[in-house]
Amino acid sequence: MTRVLKSKFLGGGPVTAVVIPLMKIRATPQTIWKRPAYLPYVQSPLNDETLAAAEKQLGHSLPEEFVEILRVQNGGPIRFRLPESVGDMIAGIGNQFPSLLDQGLTDAQEYVDFALEDLIPFDGDGHWYHCLDFRSGDRNPCVSYIDVECNSEHRIANSFAEFLKLLELDIDRELVLGNVKDFGDARHRLQKIFGVAPEEETSNIGVPYSRYQTGKDWRVCCWISSNRVAAGYSGDSPESFKFRGEAALFPELPDHAVIFECPEERLESYRELLGANDLELVTIEQAANAE
């Protein structure tokens, strides 16, 4: 991917177009966890005593990169996934579901013709699993995909560190609204452009957003949210949500960044309209690479 340094989001003005590669947003202990975090899936903070007891129970020392991630947050949904994969979780160490300690595969041995001992699943749905694979006897395990239902397996990466490098940021329709000061400025300018006041709503993961109905059809709409959101949530409806602190939805972006979304079929029409009003839409990677 490339970017051209001739953009309103980057400051505008007559500049020489310079095309350089976009830096990939990588999964690190600080960036891998999804925000807001789903608190029922997050274990208590990991300490040395809990880690030592877990490794004794598992019979293996966990990779350093794996432990570093759990020290930032002890399990939960992640913002990254493998291409063409549904995996979106890393189990933590603790007593609540999902836990690295209670996802053993030994009960499934009768359904497959390959060994399941010395596999430690950290993601999966009961049919397939992503596993730390210690079967070769190496202290540094590879990462393997196991499908119990289909009696199949394959190696994903030679190490957990390599697995992290394969992960890609999981983005649906999120873009960044460029050339606005902050969320309040964005709300004001969009209301002026569209000629309608926004409806204030909350997503099913507890993120407040402003929705603009710009046509009679309910699908003719767009919505914006702040990059600053609750760090975690629990509950199954906006009315029952409980929140914990604050965090960045996209930690690669400044707190004042404004996230824009709309139905895919409406994107180009919104892009044209916003562009005519000195605003622009850029990808998360473009915004994160902006100087």
Strand partners, 210: 200, 224
Asked if residue 8 is part of any domain, the answer here is no
Q: Are residues 130 and 233 in the same domain?
A: no
Assigned domain for 23 exists: no
Handedness of CA 246, 251, 257, 261 (dihedral sign): negative
Q: Which residues form the domain of 55?
A: 37-169
Does some domain include residue 111?
A: yes
The total of structural domains in the chain comes to 2
**Global pTM value:** 0.87
**Shared domain check, 271 and 178:** yes
Residue type, 64: E
188: left (phi over 0), alpha (psi -120 to 50) or beta: alpha
Q: Are 41 and 105 found together in one domain? A: yes
Same domain, yes or no: 188 and 213: yes
Residue 4 in any domain: the answer is: no
CB atoms within 10 A of CB 148: 20
Instruction: Please tell me whether residues 125 and 185 are part of one structural domain.
Output: no
* Residue 11 lies inside a defined structural domain of this protein: no
Residue partners of 240: CB distance under 8 A and separation at least 6: none
Looking at this protein, which amino acid is placed at residue 247?
A
CA atoms within 13 A on the CB side of 289: 19
Residue 188 shares a structural domain with residue 235: yes
Q: What is the CATH number of the domain that holds 157?
A: 3.40.1580.10
List per-residue pLDDT tens for the chain, 291 residues long: 444 444 444 444 444 444 456 678 999 999 999 999 999 999 999 999 999 999 999 999 999 999 999 999 999 999 999 998 889 999 999 999 999 998 778 889 999 999 999 999 999 998 999 999 999 998 899 999 999 999 999 999 999 999 999 999 998 889 999 999 999 999 999 999 999 999 999 888 889 999 999 999 999 999 999 999 989 988 766 666 677 789 999 999 999 999 999 999 999 999 999 999 999 999 999 999 885
